Structures are given as structure tokens and as C-alpha cells.
Chains A and B, each alone.
Chain A
Amino acid sequence: MPAYEHTPEPFKRPPELDGGRSNAPVAIVGAGPVGLALAVDLAQRGVACTVLDDNNVVSVGSRAICWAKRTLEIFDRLGVGQRMLDKGVTWKVGRLFHGDDPVYDFDLLPEEGHAYPAFINLQQYYVEEYLLDRAKEFPDLIDLRFLSKVTDHTPTETGVALTVETPEGRYTLDADWMVACDGAGSPTRKRMDLAFEGQTFTEQFLIADIEMEGEFFDGPPERWFWFDPTFHPGKSALLHQQPDNIYRIDLQLDRDTDAESVADEETVLPRIRAIVGDRPFRLDWMSIYTFRCITLDRYVHGPVIFAGDSAHVVSPFGARGGNGGIQDIDNLGWKLAAVIAGEAPRALIDTYDTERRRAARENIVNSARATNFMTPKTPIEALFRAETLRMAHDQPFARRIINSGRLSTPCALTGEALQTPGTAPLEPGRALLDAPLGDDWLVRVMPDGFVLLGIGTVVLPDVAGIARMGIDQNADYPCYPDRDGYALDRYGRDRAYLIRPDGHVAAVFDTPTAQAVERARDRALGRMLEDA
């Protein structure tokens, strides 16, 4: 009996089955974390969408569990961040073992002054449940359709016509945009016959979720990673704590292992016992996986857009899959809304492609390197790794070489077309940094849309369509004191930042004029791009 009880979502007969015909500005294929996050993001911007999913329950199995600080800040903007934080297991220290000896630990957020921690662990089924609850708060804007399988799509003059199969029949849905959030095996991608090739790893890994009473860690929960532990010789193992007394254990398997033969409890249970000692536990979920590191060549194909695993897949070491997908949505939501509202040219959508492919490349490089270190392919690779681990016991430089996963950080979009070049402590393209402001937090008080943020003695011009916010200022827009000096440290004094709706810096100013701010905003909206 799994710890999480799934509640099936009802099938609601859509109007199209009775001759009605609804036009969806945006059709979202897939109600996983990525699809649901996009639905909420669009709804918060007043854009209606229809979400189609062939299933009717949230994720079976814990799947993506590590949610990074930047992703949590995005979830905060989407209205589910606090709920995730309250439920999730907070951690920031990763500890590495070689054999049975601890050799190294790294702190992913050594500094104070952030509302959200470096990471929380929270099962994907909770993330989807919370996003689904949030989506239901927008009944007029988010049309949730479960047991609705998209079986075909064809371009039309104005967008895409989707063929949807349901238990009560088949219908056609016309959409201006179609966003494929249908996962690593994306039927949309396959239907379009798009090349999706890259590095394939032959190693298999086994995931086991176990339920275990009591505290496993003496102190705060950590991420534990073993190279060559005595309980699993010659291989690697990873342990994470999740809510509800659930622990995730990943075990690397032999390359040519017959998956069926190791996935039985007789083989798995002794290894788990070796990790957890004599504590009683119960196996909650088990799965064997292999992985690839791949990205599509393009994420935007006319009115069809790919986001999340349908666009790019990575190895799990580094938590860059789920986090990368949510950060795709952060980048796409405001752009789609601006184009639909007629405020920006369609070319703005092409910058989703360039900006997020850059992030995907970064995620792929990092996750592929971690996997290469974990699974040496040749005797010489194995030798370098063995000597690195041997020296890591007493050589600080060697500890840094050990790669058990470089954990997800936001991609800097420096130098991309939408950003106005400039110099500042937080340079154009970077994602905003949180700081305590008065009794609140910067990421929580940021207004929606474009924001002109002023720190210290800088005068912010009033530009239509751009909200203003001050730190250590007195003005007729919201101003907050820099409580402990973090904001000044992170942003510098007496300057202004133009922040995009996704929290990335679009431009910086020493003395912002209305004209310069407007021009930078227009540039960030893609108004200076050639329409493709």
C-alpha cells in the first residue's frame, strides 16, 4: 500500500463533443509539473488555456523530488512555494563517502538572507497536487481535461488543430498555440518526427522509496552519496530524505544487468538494510531507469512549443530535469502572454528557444559530466577516478574534482538579444537574488510584470506599464528597508535594475531616464528583433 493515496480527477464532457467548438488561446499537452505550472503562470497573466492529459491522477511514484531555490522562488510566484516549503524536507548539505568513510561535504547555500533554502525534497505527486489545487482557483481561465489523449495535431491558418480522444468520443480542439509538456517520451515530438539524439548511458539505476520511522540523520537532513560503499561494492549509491518518512535510495547497477533479476526484493532489501541498519522499513515504490542527455535542435516549431522533458532530457544527478522544466515555464509564460496580448512580436517566442536551449546545454554538460565521473567508461577513466577518490581523503583540491552531481542553478542569460548590456553587481541576464526587505522578502514583494527596482539615492522615472519598487528609498511607490544589508551587497547602492517578468535582469542604470528604461523594456519584449 503506497504512502500516497491518489484521487482520480473526474472526466468532464467537453462542449466539443456536443457540437460546441471552443477555441483555446493555448492548448497545453500534459498535466505534469511543467504543464500545470504553465497553466497557472498564464492564468495569473489573464491568459486562458486548456490542459489535456491522457491520465487522471497525479504522478505515480515520487519521480522528481529535488526542487532548487530558484525553482521554489518561481513556485512562490505561482502561489505554491510556501505550501511546498512547509511540506518538503529542507536540506543544503551534500555529503560524499568513499567506501564507508566520509570524505567531503559541500554546503549549497552557505549564506543567509534567502526566503527559500538551497533545496527541498518533495515528491512529484505532491508538487502536481499543489499545482492542480492552484489551477482550480482559476476556473474561468484554466480548462482542465483529464482522460483526454491528444492523438494528432495539424497546422491551421491561425494555429493548430488537435485531435483529442476521450472515453466519450473524439473531438477537434482549435488552439492558437500548443505547448507540448508531454514528457521525455513526448508523443507530440514523435508525431512530428523530430530528431532527438544524444549521449545515451548504458548504466541502469534502481530507485527505491522506503518508508522508515524515526530520524535517520542526527542533524538536519542531507544528501548522501557513496562511491564504492561496502554495501554496494564498485558502484555508487545516493540517499535523500522525503516527507512522510520516505527515503529515496538510488543504486547504480551493472551495465548489463537484467533489470528483472535485480528489481526483486530479495536482491534490493539486503542493500537497503546495509544502509539503514536494523531500523524496520517498508518498500513503497521501486523503479529501474536508464537515461540520456539530449536536447531538441529547436523548441519552437511555428505554433508548437516544447517545454520540459519533451524538449530536453538529462541524467538525474544534479536535479536538473524538473528544475529545468519549471525554469522553461518561467521563461515562456510571460512571453506567450505578451505575444497573445499583442504587446510583443511573435519573434519574442523565438527567444524562449535561444534562451532555454542555452540553459539546457548547461544542464546537459553538467549532468553528463557527473554521470561520466560516476560511471567510468574505460580503464583510464576508472583510474583517474580511483586516484581522485584516494587523494580526496586528505587533499582539498581532489575533493572538488569529485563529481556526484553539480546541483541545479539558474542559467545566466548574459549577452542574449533581449538584455541591454551593462555593468552591475548583478549583471543583465542573471536571475534576481533574494534578500530580506523589512519583514518580508524580495522574491515575495516583487510586483508582476516588468519592474524597475531602485536601490538608494536613484530617482526612478514613471514609465507606463512598468511597476516601480524601492529599497532604502522614500517614494510614492512601494519601498522597503534593506533589513540586514543583503540587498545592498547583492545589488549595489544608488542604481536601478529593470527586471523582466521572469525575474531576470533586463538592464541596469546609474541614472535611469524614462526614455532609456522604455527602450530597454521594448528590447526585452523583443520589439527590436526582426520578426522571423
Chain B
Amino acid sequence: MSKPTHDSRLDPAATDDVYAAIMAAHDGLTDAQSHALNARLVLLMANALGDADEVATLCRTARVYAG
């Protein structure tokens, strides 16, 4: 299956800010708590995107790497 490619929509400094913020959100959690937090984050971000087609595309891309 071909996968869509995704260019960066964040500038370099913001990319590092975002990654650091996600790591900080996980700080001190158990693996199970982190797993649950990831689920909440995905749902929150999908809602923030506000575009069902785009969410479907992202799901497809993410799924390709599960093989």
C-alpha cells in the first residue's frame, strides 16, 4: 500500500517545543498511564484538526508502519 507523505507544518524551533511538551506530558506516568494518555491525546488532536478526511489519511499513514 502506498503511503501519503507528510511535510512538516511546524518550524524547527516549534518542532522541538512540541516534542518536549509531549514528553513532559508523559513524565512520571506508568506505561499503562502513558498508553491511556496517548489515546486521549490522539482523540484531542483529531478533534483539534476538525477534518474527518485528514484524520482518516493520518490513520492510514500510521497503520502502514504497523506491519
Interface residues of A (CB under 8 A from B): 366, 369, 372-373, 378-381, 384, 387, 390-391, 394-401, 403, 406
Contacts and interface: CB of A to CB of B under 8 A. Distances in A.
28 contacts: A369-B20, A373-B19, A378-B26, A378-B34, A379-B31, A380-B29, A380-B34, A381-B23, A381-B26, A384-B19, A387-B65, A390-B65, A394-B5, A395-B6, A396-B5, A396-B6, A396-B7, A396-B8, A397-B8, A397-B10, A399-B8, A400-B8, A400-B12, A400-B15, A401-B15, A401-B19, A406-B12, A406-B16
Given A373-B19, A396-B6, A403-B16, 6 more contacts: A369-B16, A380-B29, A380-B31, A384-B19, A391-B65, A400-B15
A230 to B, nearest CB: 21
B22 A384 contact: yes
Interface residues of B, number: 20
Nearest to A390: B65
A399 B19 CA distance: 13
Contact of B6 (A372, A387, A390, A397): A397
Interface string B1-15: 001011111101001
A498 B65 CA distance: 54
Contacts of A373: 19
Contact of A395 (B5, B16, B23): B5
A403 B61 CA distance: 22
A399 B34 CA distance: 24
Query: B-side binding surface: helix, strand, loop or mixed?
Result: helix
Interface in B36-61: 61
A400 B66 CA distance: 21
Contacts, number: 49
Nearest to B33: A380
B63 to A, nearest CB: 12
Contacts of B61: 395
B3 A394 contact: yes
A397 B26 CA distance: 22
Nearest to A381: B23
Contacts of A372: 20, 23
A396 B5 CA distance: 7
B37 to A, nearest CB: 9
Contacts of B23: 372, 381, 384
Contacts of A369: 16, 19-20
Contacts of A398: 6
A253 B16 CA distance: 25
A370 to B, nearest CB: 9
B55 to A, nearest CB: 16
Contacts of A384: 19, 22-23
Contacts of B5: 394-396
A400 B9 CA distance: 10
A414 to B, nearest CB: 14
B52 to A, nearest CB: 21
A365 to B, nearest CB: 8
A373 B16 CA distance: 10
